[in-house]
Amino acid sequence: MRERENMTHLGSQGTTYESDYNPGLLESFENRYPDRDYFVKFNCPEFTSLCPITGQPDFANIVIAYVPDRRMVESKSLKLYLFSYRNHGDFHEDCVNRIMDDLIALMSPRYIEVWGRFMPRGGISIDPYCNYGKPGTEWEQVAKKRLTEHDMHPDAVDNR
């Protein structure tokens, strides 16, 4: 059985759901396979934040995919962290970039990408995408390539 290290959320019987942005909720654990490249992907279909101007709610599916190095994000802490955006006012692009920056600070992954697929408001949906490859590694070039090819085949119009 894997040690709990410094994880406080996993297995807690008294989970508190903070509703104001708090990166301190994120927790990590040691990657048991640091010599192997592999993707970890999270699909978060219930992300909610607020428009910083109007205060209206914004809803999105946030997809986070990363190639870990030495540390990995603990999934319950990620869920609580994403929930902490509930009453946080920020533009869609800022939310996606901040999520990526906080995860980079937490785990220093080899590669990470975050894609926000926001529900339309005012007839327009915004789908910001950002990524990062660790400088000086092959993942830096992978990030550049994935960014340029990210939306080469856009989805058909949907009724998100």
Tell me which residues are annotated as active site: 51, 58
Q: Could you write out the DSSP letters of every residue in 5-53?
A: TT--STT-SS-----S--GGG--EEE-S-TTS---EEEEEEEEEEE-TT
Closest CA to 59 of 141, 123, 128, 116: 116
Q: Which residues pair with 115 in a beta bridge?
A: 63, 129
Q: CA neighbours within 13 Å on the CB side: how many for 88? A: 23
* Element (DSSP H or E) covering residue 101: helix 92-107
Q: Which residue has the tokens 């609580």?
A: 80
Closest CA to 78 of 9, 3, 4: 9
